[in-house]
Structure 1
Amino acid sequence: MPSLISPPPSVERKAFGPLSAQPQKRRIIIFSDFDGTISLQDTGHILFDAHGCGPTRRSALDDQIRSGERTFKDASEEMYASLDVPFDDGFELMASRLDLDPGFKTFHTFCLAHSIPFHVISAGLKPVLRRVLDECLGEEESSRINIVANDAEITRDGKEWKPIWRHVGTETGHDKVRSIREEVDGDGRKGEGEGEGEGEGEGVPLIVFIGDGVSDLPAAREADVLFARKGLRLEGYCVEHGIKYLPFGSFGDIQSKLEGIMDEDEERTRGRGNPVRFNPRANMWRRASSRKAVPRYVVMSPSREEKMFLWPDTFTELRGDGMAATSMGKAVV
């Protein structure tokens, strides 16, 4: 990642604070997938296999999703439409077959002790996930976890399960990237105070994402630190494509590594070095005041590929002469 070129003093010092300002310790915000990450089984699979389309049809639909033959939202609607079980009865089955990660409860307590916001971000149904957490953690502790997922309408007799998609116009029904940005922005507004808002301090939180599958990748790209469950598809994809990640076998591993990251950030606050394990791209979009108005320092520093990654509406393609073409027809080195 090329280093930033020092900007002109009069304009850029106003925008980004004094160059001599001491970096502040960043807030940490955690986002985690649920099925296969917090729970070791998939809540939907348990329901569909026992009270819906059955394992054979469900497996065929999963294959169609992976091949691109059908969208996740389209195939999921068929699976949910096949359910014929009252909510409470369906949950009883899940309770008998579902296991949470053995280190999750302790990790949740750790997050509370350190005032670290923890968000579940899932393509599943919020009522199901909330009920699981209520039963496993207790309603009071469960209420401290924000669940960002699709809602649902379920008839009393259980003959109709209808997902209410968060983002209807998307192929997945839930744009996790959009949800993460909305939650980060909301959390930032809650924490605003003196000396916050821009630069390296409280206005630029350190985002952690925890997942297990390739479907988590779009959301994972928004994170500074990515944890991938060992031996599953997300880890394999990261290895194959050279994506930086931290492997975990349980949430106990995550807690231990997160404590190390917090220590690194503390050292950075004291001016004793910079953390090396973070994803620089994630930080860059959070530093910018607008994804539509490209800051001048961006023009001077990132690679052409990164400009297109971060500002696709502005940097749309690479020209034959090796320059990045903008949507307004101007070329930027």
Structure 2
Amino acid sequence: MPSITFADVATAPSSRTLKAPKTPVPVVDAQNTSKRDIIIFSDFDGTIFMQDTGHILFDHHGCGAAQRHLLDEEIRTGARSFRAVSEDMWGSLNVPFEDGFNVMKEKLEIDPAFNEFHKFCLANGIPFNVISAGLKPILRKVLDLFLGEKQSSHIDIVANDAQISHDGSEWKPIWRHDSELGHDKAASIQEYKVIASSESEDGSIPLIVFVGDGVSDLPAAREADVLFARRGLRLEEYCIENDISYIPFDTFADIQKELVRLTEEDQQSTMGTGRPVQYNPRANFWRRASSKKAVPTLSSIQQSSGPATGNVFLPVEQTVAPQATLVS
């Protein structure tokens, strides 16, 4: 994969892991920080949650950990595509949808600071969106369980859908794209660009942030002004190997701290007008998509998926949760 250029982001990596904030959620003071809009896009498995939701299901209700590792190796070596291997993994499951979440509650760990971080985003009108190669019904259910349905509803999700039989004997991904990836995050971005092409009403230029952990996040991450990569995982390694600017994080508390610092830096340098200090021209279509005009929300591109066939299709949400109001 070719090297990707990002706007330089100066940061001094911390050697310690920050804990979840114990003080009330801070609201950015408009007098001390920029009024510039911030829009966040994030991976899910390994980023918001420390484990992979699919792996937990496969290990306990499907092919098992040993076989999963062998299948993962086929992806790593290129012997078979991600989509082909994933179909084998999902096809190995034999558990009703609701029952599968018993092990999720026991094994999944959410980033210790994510809940407070998302409250921070809501308090400051910062939209938070998920782009994932996983299955949307699972991701939504997990967020509902760990955050509560009200808070979860403020997060838009673009991911693959799923066809699951009532008795749980058949799990079949409904892929977003007819490709070896199943869900090509870069393609989703392009779809979003096409359907949401209006410009910002007041000419402001928002700051676009992406958060991830793996190389599969790069197609989306390269479109951001600021990239946060979970420390010690493959995305950070790739950034180091290819001289890509990024900010490492241990928990979302690190990200919250950096966002406050970045907005203060931007306010001092630009007064919140014109281009952000951290600016990547590739992110322009995200800015158009995040216009204050009536444009589709991120999750609306889910409608581009083909219709489901067979057994029971877990429904996509019938109403699109509104994004938090942008800071003005």
Structure-2-length-normalised TM-score: 0.72
Distance 1:287 1:30, change over 3 A: closer
Question: Could you list the per-position Cα deviations for residues 176-220 of structure 1 after superposition, in whole angstroms to 9, with x for gaps in the alignment?
Answer: 12323545676775x843x33xxxx2xx43211101111111111
1:45 aligns with 2:45: no
Q: For residues 114 and 26 of structure 1, what CA distance do their matches in structure 2 show?
A: 11
Counterpart among 80, 88, 111 of residue 121 in structure 2? 111
Correspondence 1:104-253 to 2 at 5 A:
104-167=114-177, 169-183=178-192, 189=198, 192-193=200-201, 195-196=202-203, 201=204, 204-253=205-254
Q: For residues 259 and 188 of structure 1, what CA distance do their matches in structure 2 show?
A: 29
User: Given residue 142 of structure 1, which amino acid in structure 2 is its aligned partner?
Assistant: S
Question: Could you list the per-position Cα deviations for residues 252-288 of structure 1 after superposition, in whole angstroms to 9, with x for gaps in the alignment?
Answer: 0000001111222323432899765x35352466699
Distance 1:130 1:192, change over 3 A: same
Question: Could you list the per-position Cα deviations for residues 58-81 of structure 1 after superposition, in whole angstroms to 9, with x for gaps in the alignment?
Answer: 111111111111111111011101
Question: Could you list the per-position Cα deviations for residues 207-245 of structure 1 after superposition, in whole angstroms to 9, with x for gaps in the alignment?
Answer: 111011111111111111000001111111111111100
1:265 aligns with 2:266: yes
User: Given residue 177 of structure 1, which amino acid in structure 2 is its aligned partner?
Assistant: A
Contact 1:86–1:158 (Cα < 8 Å) also in 2: yes
Q: Secondary structure at the match of 1:243?
A: coil
Q: For residues 157 and 236 of structure 2, what CA distance do their matches in structure 1 show?
A: 24
Divergent runs of 4+, >3 A: 180-189, 271-276, 283-288
Which residue number in structure 1 is paired with residue 24 of structure 2?
A: none
Contact 1:265–1:274 (Cα < 8 Å) also in 2: no
Moved more, 226-235 or 179-188: 179-188
Cα offset, 1:164, TM superposition: 0.8
Correspondence 1:318-333 to 2 at 5 A:
none
Contact 1:49–1:55 (Cα < 8 Å) also in 2: yes
Contact 1:268–1:274 (Cα < 8 Å) also in 2: no
Structure 1's unaligned 5+ residue stretches are 2-23, 289-333
User: Given residue 243 of structure 1, which amino acid in structure 2 is its aligned partner?
Assistant: I
Identity percentage of aligned residues: 59
> What value does the CA root-mean-square deviation take over the aligned residues?
2.5
Q: For residues 153 and 214 of structure 1, what CA distance do their matches in structure 2 show?
A: 27
Which residue number in structure 2 is paired with residue 85 of structure 1?
A: 95
Distance 1:287 1:134, change over 3 A: closer
Q: For residues 137 and 256 of structure 1, what CA distance do their matches in structure 2 show?
A: 21
Choose 1 or 2 for highest CA Rg: 1
Q: For residues 125 and 200 of structure 2, what CA distance do their matches in structure 1 show?
A: 15
Moved more, 175-184 or 100-109: 175-184
Which residue number in structure 2 is paired with residue 282 of structure 1?
A: 282
Correspondence 1:308-319 to 2 at 5 A:
none
Structure-1-length-normalised TM-score: 0.71
Cα offset, 1:117, TM superposition: 1.0
User: Given residue 135 of structure 1, which amino acid in structure 2 is its aligned partner?
Assistant: L
Which residue number in structure 1 is paired with residue 313 of structure 2?
A: none
Contact 2:200–2:287 (Cα < 8 Å) also in 1: no
User: Given residue 158 of structure 1, which amino acid in structure 2 is its aligned partner?
Assistant: G
Contact 1:267–1:273 (Cα < 8 Å) also in 2: no
Contact 2:224–2:280 (Cα < 8 Å) also in 1: no
User: Given residue 182 of structure 2, which amino acid in structure 1 is its aligned partner?
Assistant: G
Contact 2:223–2:280 (Cα < 8 Å) also in 1: no
Matched length:
256
Distance 1:187 1:114, change over 3 A: farther
Contact 1:150–1:165 (Cα < 8 Å) also in 2: yes
Moved more, 279-288 or 91-100: 279-288
Q: Secondary structure at the match of 1:29?
A: strand
Contact 2:41–2:210 (Cα < 8 Å) also in 1: yes
Contact 1:48–1:79 (Cα < 8 Å) also in 2: yes
Counterpart among 72, 92, 96 of residue 82 in structure 2? 72
1:101 aligns with 2:107: no
